A and B are shown apart, each in its own frame.
Chain A
Amino acid sequence: MSSNEQNDGRNPARRAFAAEVLEANHVFKQGDGEQSPKFALLPTGELANRVFMVGTVTESEETDGGRIRVNLVDPSGEAYVYAGQYEPAAETTLRQVDPPCYLATVVKPDTFETDEGDVYVSLTAQNAAVVDEDTYLQWFDETAEHTINRLANLQDVESFEDPDYDVYSHYGPDIDEELQEMLVDALETYRESN
């Protein structure tokens, strides 16, 4: 049970496909406090403190650090989702997962830097549950709609007052076209398999 947010509003779990979430490597704190929440700037322009993801688990594996890692696949791509001792509820679920199966999970996005200086996105599960196909289909539909809406809004933005929101400087001047391509590819992949 997460407890520290019970008296406040809660940051919603954004809906985004794996391919978009994995691009979201601009992560920053909002506020100066030690407990200030971290947000990832999604390439479609939305800030995400958490993301709700559903997909097919194809593999699960113990990491060298003693955490559990699963591969979560959706029509856009594949993401690693981790849980360890600090996420006991999620860890228990991920250790019991028997691939292949559908998994729904709320993840907190963050980044890590390799020795070469590349910055990658890491996803830590706050909680997770095995779900049925219908839940996966609802998520897919909703996530496609939300992504379309974010992209449509992004095209209306003329300038970014806050540099933390500037997707073009963080993700390149063609990011909106790349995202649209990602989205169309994901929808076509879905259509072929359903």
Chain B
Amino acid sequence: MSGEQSTVDEQISETVNEVLDSVSDEYDVDEDAVEELVTQFIDEYGVPQDSARRSVMRSLAKERDIDVPELTGSSSGGGSSGPTAISDLDSSDENPWYTVKATAVNLGQPDDSEHVRQYGYLDDGEDRIRFVMWASGTDEDMLLEEGETYELESVVVNYSDYNEEDEVNINKSSNVSEADSYIEPSDTTTEFTGAIVDTAGESGLVKRDVDSGEVVDSSHTGPTEKDLRLILWVDNGYDAVRVTFNKELTEQITGISFEEAEEIAADALDLEAVIGEMLPELLGRYVTVRGEMLGDYLLTDEFDWPEANVDVEELLVKARALDEEGGDN
């Protein structure tokens, strides 16, 4: 039903404008011809807007005996190679090769893959997209640096079945250089308010493997070090989100310092005693957290305790008005 929101005329004029906007200035395009073609696709044949736009682009490119990236000026082979906005990257494009200008963020390197050298996100200030840099055929020394802005030519956008979203592939045909200007990455901070309803993973005083940094249980052999952290379910009645607190934030939110936590564990001869002491102060309370989503986890940067503000008169007005809209009584 949502597809019916705009009228056919609106769809046509929108698509015409998209086509005209995306054609590079160096090519003259007959506006009436474009409109006629778009109308034919959308009105007569009921082609979806996206497909209509792509078909028209291909037909315009064909007329000039060039390919679509050259027509839009995004082809790396062509003279003018303006970058494509990340929101416009689309793996279902006929020719999903692009030039992207973006800042590299949240970088990582797999230690178990010979094929992938680096992964992370590209952020053009408006949107971000995952990227993968393949080892094969790319320069051995090539690694993007966190927070640096790059111009990435001839990257391919593929749909990743694994991540279930489009991602940028930097491969042997790609050309990566430092950009002449810096792009401030977009603000991806998430805010969530809800009640703390449970723990969502090992919390309190935990042991980490010294080498891997991973939280391990008591059966773990090898050197470990203690750390404080919380992973909590915060629930607003519609969604439940896993929210993490690092050592410093755990000390803040519980009022229990790392040293005190160690004492509690030592007195009880049990690490679990620490979360046992923390939970009664946390459970059931409403908290507002702000931070980045990483996968399923919200990594808290800051939190505060919201205050109650009950406007019972307003609630009564809403509650009494309910049956007036119902219509059946």
A102-145 contact mask (Cβ, 8 Å, vs B): 1 or 0: 01111000000000000000000011111100111111111011
Q: Which among A12, A54, A191 is the interface contact of B236 at CB below 8 angstroms?
A: A12
Contact B199 A1 (CB under 8 A): yes
Q: What total of chain A residues lie within 8 Å of the partner, measured CB to CB?
A: 50
Q: How many angstroms between the C-alpha atoms of A2 and B198 in the bound complex? A: 8
Q: Which among A52, A104, A180, A194 is the interface contact of B319 at CB below 8 angstroms?
A: A180
Q: Is A15 an interface residue (CB 8 A)?
A: yes
Q: How many angstroms between the C-alpha atoms of A177 and B307 in the bound complex? A: 32
Residues of chain A within 8 A (CB-CB) of B240 are 9-13
Chain A at the B interface: mostly helix, strand, loop or mixed? helix
Q: What total of chain B residues lie within 8 Å of the partner, measured CB to CB?
A: 42
Q: How many angstroms between the C-alpha atoms of A103 and B285 in the bound complex? A: 10
Given contacts A184-B316, A184-B320, contact A104 B326 (CB under 8 A): no
Contact A155 B325 (CB under 8 A): yes
Residues of chain B within 8 A (CB-CB) of A10 are 200, 233, 235, 240
Q: Which among B285, B312, B320, B323 is the interface contact of A190 at CB below 8 angstroms?
A: B312
Q: Is B78 an interface residue (CB 8 A)?
A: no
Contact A6 B201 (CB under 8 A): yes
Chain B residue at smallest Cβ distance from A9:
B240
Q: Is A98 an interface residue (CB 8 A)?
A: no
Q: Which among B284, B307, B310, B312 is the interface contact of A129 at CB below 8 angstroms?
A: B284
Contact A142 B315 (CB under 8 A): no
Q: How many angstroms between the C-alpha atoms of A11 and B306 in the bound complex? A: 23
Q: Which among B282, B311, B319 is the interface contact of A184 at CB below 8 angstroms?
A: B319
Given contacts A127-B197, A129-B279, A135-B284, contact A177 B319 (CB under 8 A): no
Q: How many angstroms between the C-alpha atoms of A9 and B240 in the bound complex? A: 8
Contact B315 A187 (CB under 8 A): yes
Contact B235 A12 (CB under 8 A): yes
Contact B197 A13 (CB under 8 A): yes
Which A11-49 residues sit within 8 Å CB-CB of chain B? 11-15
B interface, CB within 8 angstroms of A:
195, 197-201, 203, 233, 235-240, 275, 279-286, 306-313, 315-316, 318-320, 322-323, 325-327, 329
Give me 27 A-to-B residue pairs in the complex whose CB atoms sit less than 8 angstroms apart, sorted by A's number. Answer: A2-B199, A10-B233, A11-B240, A12-B237, A12-B238, A12-B240, A13-B240, A52-B195, A52-B235, A104-B195, A104-B285, A127-B279, A129-B280, A135-B286, A141-B309, A141-B315, A144-B315, A145-B315, A148-B318, A148-B319, A155-B326, A176-B326, A180-B323, A184-B319, A184-B320, A187-B315, A190-B310
A interface, CB within 8 angstroms of B:
1-2, 6, 9-15, 52, 54, 89, 93, 103-106, 126-131, 134-142, 144-146, 148, 151-152, 155, 176-177, 180, 183-184, 187-188, 190-191, 194
